[in-house]
Amino acid sequence: MQATRIIAVRHGETAWNVDTRIQGHLDIPLNDTGLWQARQLARALADEPITAIYTSDLLRALSTAQAVADATGAPLATDTGLRERSFGHFQGRTFAEIEAELPEQARRWRQRDPDYAPEGGESLVTLRERVTRTAHRLAAQHPGGQVLLVAHGGVLDVLYRAATGQEIQAPRTWQLTNAAINRLLWTEGGLTLVGWADTQHLDNASRDEIFT
């Protein structure tokens, strides 16, 4: 089977990103900066040969993906397998609030305990299984093509680790920038890394366009 090229993108910025408030499965929209980032992403990918676009059904990802679909004409479909990690009762709280109110749970989360799941949420092991299974399923449908996956920070983190052989509990040393372009290659043997955290389309653009 031929390889499938993957462009993986984290959604544009939200107000809760700025506030360091845990979103998880809560449906938070893009803020003005996030909408601008989505437009810049769409411009950067407008001439890419994209076979299909798959996105988390959460609004912040769907709005980002829709901008690219409008620019490229590529077909767009939602997939709940690309949703952010469910953080259960952490959702809606800031990092600081969790540290203050739930110090022992915060410690296990901070130390990346693979089997720890916030009440009502997912563990890292569960997230990894969901994301890798979804990426394999979607990529396998487009051998020789290129797909765009629009998702969330936790999803992008899993994809990076899978492509580089990083353990799930290893400290993160790579960026998960909103609306950055990340490139991977999928074969039946798994994922490999091609390029990561390309933000040229954001760095070189005029911020004056945010509110236009």
Active site residues: 11, 84
Q: Is 13 annotated as a binding residue?
A: yes
Q: Is 112 annotated as a binding residue?
A: no
d(C-alpha 66, C-alpha 121), whole Å: 28
Query: What is the chain's alpha carbon radius of gyration, rounded to the nearest angstrom?
Result: 17
Q: Is 152 annotated as a binding residue?
A: no
d(C-alpha 90, C-alpha 73), whole Å: 38
Q: Is 10 annotated as a binding residue?
A: yes
Q: Which amino acid is at 119?
A: E
Are 63 and 38 contacting, i.e. CB atoms less than 8 angstroms apart?
yes
Q: Is 12 annotated as a binding residue?
A: yes
Q: Is 99 annotated as a binding residue?
A: no
Q: Residue 173: which residues within 8 A CB-CB, separation 6 or more? A: none
Q: Residue 129: which residues within 8 A CB-CB, separation 6 or more? A: none
Q: 107-145: b or e for each residue (b if 16 or more CB lie within 10 Å)?
A: eebeeebeeebbeebbbbeebbebbbebbeebbeebeeb
Q: Is 137 annotated as a binding residue?
A: no
Q: Is 16 annotated as a binding residue?
A: yes
Q: Is 65 annotated as a binding residue?
A: no
Beta strand 4-10 pairing with 146-151: parallel
Binding residues for substrate: 10-17, 60
Binding residues: 10-17, 60
